[in-house]
Amino acid sequence: MRTADIRSRFLDFFAARGHTVVPSAPLPTPDPTLLFVNAGMVPFKPYLTGEASPPWPRATSVQKCVRTLDIEEVGRTTRHGSFFQMNGNFSFGDYFKEEAIAFAWELSVSAVEDGGYGLDPERIWATVHHSDDEAAVLWRRIAGLPEERIVRRGDEDNFWSMGVPGPCGPCSELYYDRGPALGRAGGPAVDEDRYMEFWNLVFMQYERGEGAGKSGYPILGELPRRNIDTGMGLERMATLLQGVDNLYEIDETRPVLDRAAELTGVRYGADHLADVRLRVVADHVRTALMLLADGTAPGNEGRGYVLRRVLRRAVRSVRLLGYQDPALPELLPAARDCMKHSYPEVAEEFDRISQQAYAEEDAFRSTLRQGTTVLDTAVAEVKARGGHLLPGRQAFLLHDTYGFPIDLTLEMAEEQGVEVDREGFTSLMTEQRERARADARARKSGGALDTSVLRPVLDAHGPTDWRAYDALETESRVLALLGTGGPVTSVRTGGIATAVLDRTPFYAESGGQDSDAGALTGASVEAEVLDVQRPLPGLVVHQVRVTAGELAVGDAVRAAVDPEWRLGARQAHSGTHVLHAALRQVLGPTALQAGSYNRPGYLRLDFPWRGPLGPVARGEVEEAANRALRRDLPVDVRWMSLPEAKELGALALFGETYGERVRVVEIGGAWSRELCGGTHVAHAAQVGVVALTAESSVGAGMRRLEAATGFEGFGYLARERDLVSRLAEQLQAPRTGLPERVAGLLERLKAADQRAEELRGRAALARAAELAAAATDVGGTLMVTATTDADARALALAVRDRLPEARPGVAAIGATAGDGGKAVVTIALNGAAVTAGLSAAALVKSLLGGRGGGTAEVAQGGGLAAGALAATLDALRGMLP
């Protein structure tokens, strides 16, 4: 039976029994905790949890799913697939255990001609929760299962919850005995390869409380309305009904595997490693097809990154099997033909799908050629040093310059027995994102928003419904789009524009707090939010980059703030208030904040002060701040009139203009009380730590403190600790004695440098006399050329001064610089040469192609390849008159 027929038979069965057929939801999910739908119940979650009223009492669906956690296992085992389909029937307070069990049994064992799957009832086993006597009785009564084929199992296997307080309940699973050729007898508790699970029935009847794991939580009682959530794995049922060994061999995947085997000349089943790679190809090509069909585009983050990863793993697997030509034009049509019977859109949209996929392969083939060479060289260098860790900067280079996803670098490095410094890579990636956001702000400021264009939008639609204080996401509508040249109706992939929404959860940059990061997603668009501003009172605008699809005026979008970004921003902003209060506590009330900036993990605070604080004062300020965090001072936010705030003693900063009602943020009551419009933590301890990282001058009488907060703060302190430990070990000194030991070393180095400089000077002067005595006569001009590993300018001047003043003299000295093997050339002329019309600056520029400069007497230029230095100096002869 074809998979498409198994699918339609399931829907028809439940439709005939009063279930509403609900189409599969798209793979990208609006749930902020998920990239893709990963279970059949996900689209029904609000109805199952009671968050929303279901529009029907019972429903059925075949839901497309993608699970990203299993990608590394794909192909290695025959039970993991990144894309799969889940057949489900759901009851929302309608029927319960008896009907659910009866439906599952009837469909499973009924004859094919009667609309069932025709499974042999003598080979079906059921598992139930050890406490669920009711389910065990029903399986005996309805299905006639003997006691020995009803297996009682514990919470780990047969109790379901979503991992958080809410609905939960026992579940019952159906297994099919595939025969002794596939494993040991004894049921699913003995061998789950021979006994394949094909259906799971979840009986939601309890409410659970807080707790960890599968059983570390209390059961609070019965749900007021009991629900049914079942899932039958479509690929698993196809495996059973088609008589094949695993999900890679069913009719929706095997043709792709066979085409890959044909292209590569590899026989499936002959070699384990080759089989793994063929299964990776079969699974990933189908997964990519379905993701592309649902509007996901390859990218470097989020959903786009998952798609890019599976495409590149498929392409690389084919290449490792020996096929070097473009593979997707051969494989993707095979996947299309497999899936179009169930999902006609993959054929209808194939031109778009294939264009994106083939372009990604073309880019990756180029990437792979260059990046593999770089990676192999880097791995060889690591091994030559006797190491086993590839530096994070090398992984970042592969990602940033050659487009290698970090997962591919990890995979390829592992194949060669080398690990990768993930922490170093992550740090460099974070820096890059910060630069990108700064660049986006620079572009914005370079072309300031035209408020005359935005004013009509504000007048027509009113102020933005701003939800930043109480929401991380909103359902929004695009009111207007502005490009570099003014209003536009839409923006396509890669374009950057300013979007005005009717409502938004994004914090707009103000009060020193950076704007939120996040995304806008719609039916046919994904866009990254780069910056958020308030160009007019009441109007919030978003600078966005469209990463997939097209964003148009009138589009309905989900505006979602990155929750980790917001948490970091709250920590940093509250940390700024804490540091300000600590500064005033230590230095007094005149240390009043004169400016600030904070973003996740980082803050800076400017304040008037007469000179550097010094290590003692900095230590006192840092200690006062962290004592406040340790006391977990409460953070309270109140709205009041400006006179009330002033009477309360709240600090109003920067001479800002405030409205009639102001927002007062208190940390520990009067200890820190400021007017502030930013986002904050609920308790001071949530800041984590305030670790001062720098103090500097930002003008006369103005100082700046910089600090790390949250995880970044702990990371900074850990790095400082490790640095001190390494220094103490290398210098063989106790930590407390490090300053004295380092000071002594510096004194010795300074004395050694002075002595070395004296020796170099003497050597240069001695050589200068020798070079001057050996000067070459070029048409009446004395010329000296030489190279040195010391100061080229000093030697050139010394040689010049030893040439006879009566005749024109030119000294040209080259030296290799320390910046990657580049060389510099210095030319010095005596007075007679200048009088004769020569110019050192002109000669340097002629030698170095316009680079360099100086005066007529002395000039210098650089950027010359070290290997070309001798030839360049020789060329000077032809430039003299």
Give the residue, 58 or 484, on which the prediction is more confident: 58
Mean pLDDT, residues 540-552: 93
Cα separation, 570 vs 516, in Å, equals: 10
How far apart are the C-alpha atoms of 798 and 789, rounded to whole Å? 15
DSSP 266: P
Judged against a pLDDT cut of 80, whether residue 208 lies above it is answered with yes
The whole-number average pLDDT for the span 360-373 is: 80
Q: pLDDT class for 31, splitting at 50, 70, 90?
A: low
Beta strand pairing call for 473-483 and 556-561: antiparallel
pLDDT the model gives residue 196: 93
Of residues 323 and 862, more confidently modeled: 323
- 734 burial type by CB count under 10 A (0-12 exposed, 13-18 middle, 19+ buried): exposed
Give the residue-averaged pLDDT of 632-653: 86
DSSP state of 673: E
Q: Where in the chain is the domain with CATH 3.10.310.40?
A: 762-879
The per-residue pLDDT for 445 is 44
pLDDT digits (tens, 9 = 90+) for 91-115: 999 999 999 999 999 999 999 999 9
Q: What is the pLDDT of residue 503?
A: 95
For the chain, residues classed under CATH 2.40.30.130 are: 435-561
Q: What distance in Å separates the CA atoms of residue 598 and residue 706, rounded to the nearest whole number?
A: 10
Tokens of 587: 């230095």
Q: In b/e form, how buried is each residue of 81-102, taking b as 16+ CB within 10 angstroms?
A: bbbbbbbbbbbbbbbbbebbbb
Annotated binding site for Zn(2+): 573, 577, 676, 680
Give the 3-state secondary structure of 362-421: HHHHHHHHHHHHHHHHHHHHHHHCCCCEECHHHHHHHHHHHCCCHHHHHHHHHHCCCEEC
Distances 613 to 443, 707, 809 between C-alpha atoms, Å: 36, 15, 56
Q: Quote the CA–CA distance of 804 and 811 in Å, as a whole number.
A: 12
**SS3 annotation, 542-593:** EEEEEEEEEEECCCEEEEEECHHHHHHHHHHHHHHHHHHHHHHHHHCCCCCC
Residue 195 burial (CB count, 10 A): 24
Which positions make up the binding site? 573, 577, 676, 680
In this prediction, residue 436 carries a pLDDT of 54
Asked whether the predicted pLDDT for residue 495 surpasses 50, the reply is: yes
Domain 3-244, CATH number (from 3.90.226.10, 3.30.365.10, 3.30.930.10, 3.40.50.720): 3.30.930.10
In this model, does residue 656 exceed pLDDT 50?
A: no
CA distance 826 to 811: 8
762-879 fold:
Diaminopimelate Epimerase; Chain A, domain 1 (3.10.310)
Read off the pLDDT of residues 415-465 as tens digits, 9 standing for 90 and up: 788 888 888 888 887 776 666 555 545 544 444 566 778 888 888 898 999
pLDDT at 74: 82
Query: pLDDT category, 51, cuts 50, 70, 90?
Result: low
With 0-12 / 13-18 / 19 or more C-beta atoms within 10 angstroms meaning exposed / middle / buried, residue 393 is middle
Confidence check: pLDDT of 33 > 70: no
Range 566-722 classified under CATH 3.90.180.10:
no
What's the CA gap between 124 and 164, in Å, rounded? Answer: 33
pLDDT band at 657 (very low <50, low <70, confident <90, very high): very low
pLDDT average, residue stretch 474-480? 95
Count the residues in the chain. 881
Average pLDDT over every residue of 710-717? 90
Task: Please give the biggest Cα pair distance in the chain.
Answer: 122
User: CB of 535 within 8 A of CB of 544?
Assistant: no
CA 676 – CA 512 distance, rounded (Å): 10
What integer is the mean pLDDT of 190-208? 92
Residue range(s) of every CATH 3.30.980.10 domain in the chain = 566-722
Question: How is residue 116 written in tokens?
Answer: 């069932």
In sequence order, the 6+-apart residues with CB closer than 8 A to the CB of 483 are: 491, 495, 497, 498
From residue 475, how far is each of 32, 51, 507 by CA, in Å?
13, 16, 16
Mean pLDDT of the chain: 88
Comparing 492-501, 539-548, 784-793, which segment has the lowest mean pLDDT? 784-793
Q: What's the pLDDT band for 659 if we cut at 50, 70, 90?
A: low
CATH annotation of 435-561: 2.40.30.130
HEC profile of 808-856 = CEEEEEEEECCCCCEEEEEEEECHHHHHCCCCHHHHHHHHCCCCCEECC
User: In this predicted structure, what is the pLDDT of residue 869?
Assistant: 85
Helix axes 392-402, 422-446, angle to 10 degrees: 40
Q: In this predicted model, what pLDDT tens digit does every residue of 139-191 receive, in sequence order? A: 999 999 999 999 999 998 999 987 778 889 999 999 999 999 888 999 999 99
Whose tokens are 């000039």? That residue is 859
pLDDT at 757 over 80: no
The pLDDT value given to residue 423? 85
Greater model confidence, 818 or 580? 580
| The pLDDT of residue 432 | 67
Residue 361: CA count within 13 A, CB half-sphere: 23
Whole-angstrom Cα distance, residue 727 to residue 735? 8
* 401 vs 197, residue with greater confidence: 197
Q: Is the pLDDT of residue 723 over 90?
A: no
Rounded CA separation 50/44 (Å): 10
Q: What is the per-residue pLDDT for 821? A: 67
